[in-house]
Amino acid sequence: MAGKRGNSEGSITKRPDGRWEARISLDGGRRKSHYAKTRQEASRWLAEALRDRDKGLPIVGEKQTVEHYLTQWLKDIEPTVGPRTLQRYEEIVRLHLLPTLGGIILSKLSAQHVQAFYTAKRKEGLAPATVGRLHVVLHRALNEAMRLGLIQRNVATLVTPPRVERKEMKVLSPAQARAFCMPWKAIPLRRCMSWRLQQACDGANSSRFIGLMLILMAGMFKCALPFSIQVGKAITLLSQRRKAQSAKLP
């Protein structure tokens, strides 16, 4: 015989088709039902639903798959993202998320599923940065599902994507920097700013660009501040000379 409880405690009844129905009352007079093959399964769902209701959490359904949700999610976000962003999201969903996670019931998607998905993608040869992009898309989609009350939490937040290794930038030691700058200091500025350099520079803007690069190089290696000042002066003189030559032309 089916057991019954008060409205606030929900109810469990056996249907004519042999299944068990667990029903819970929600705010506003609404009710939510869950169908199970055994009474134990129905009772377990009811206990979890009552707990979530008392905590103010959404009572989620169990029929929608990850594939169904992601397909609808892409349609929903289309007006809010650019064409290229939408295209990248569609490719990630179609090529990566759906083949592995699409058949899972959305409300039953777990952190273990997501972690196994990331591990499998790394074994397939995807770079950590690429797997990180998959994580970003999945995380965003599940955030929206949580906001809509379709899931209780975003399981992607419980999983850490593969770490992207950052290559440490190699810099010159003070001794190496001095050795680099020594040949520059030995060359007279008049030779550096010779007529050949003027011919190589197409106008004052180009000469300023080359001079600026020389100044930046000198500043980066922290060994030629007086040299960079002299270069700046030479660039100014070069510009003035070109203007004077242009003024003399008929």
pLDDT in tens, 164-189: 777 666 666 777 766 666 665 555 54
- Give pLDDT tens digits for 84-121: 999 999 999 999 999 999 999 898 899 999 999 999 99
pLDDT at 34: 79
Answer yes or no: is pLDDT of 137 > 90: yes
Answer yes or no: is pLDDT of 211 > 60: no
- Give, to the nearest 10 degrees, the angle between helix 66-77 and helix 83-92: 170
pLDDT at 164: 73
pLDDT at 161: 85
pLDDT at 134: 95
Q: Specify the range with the lowest mean pLDDT, choosing from 16-20, 116-120, 217-221.
A: 217-221
Answer yes or no: is pLDDT of 215 > 70: no
pTM (two decimals): 0.51
pLDDT at 110: 93
Higher pLDDT, 72 or 219: 72
Q: Which class for 133: exposed (0-12), middle (13-18), buried (19 or more C-beta within 10 A)?
A: middle
φ, ψ (nearest 5 deg) of residue 109: -65, 130
Q: Which class for 14: exposed (0-12), middle (13-18), buried (19 or more C-beta within 10 A)?
A: middle
Topology of domain 66-158, CATH: DNA polymerase; domain 1 (1.10.150)
| pLDDT confidence bin for 224, thresholds 50/70/90 | very low
pLDDT at 195: 41
Task: Give the span between the Cα atoms of 154 and 139, in whole angstroms.
Answer: 7
| pLDDT confidence bin for 44, thresholds 50/70/90 | confident
For the record, the structure tokens of 79 come out as 């007006």
Higher pLDDT, 216 or 48: 48
- Give the distance from CA 110 to its chain's centroid: 21
pLDDT at 201: 45
31: left (phi over 0), alpha (psi -120 to 50) or beta: beta
pLDDT at 139: 96
- Helix H segments across 55-109? 66-77, 83-92, 98-101
pLDDT at 132: 92
What are the sequence ranges of the domains in the chain?
7-54, 66-158, 174-240
Task: Give the span between the Cα atoms of 2 and 34, in whole angstroms.
Answer: 15
| pLDDT confidence bin for 66, thresholds 50/70/90 | very high
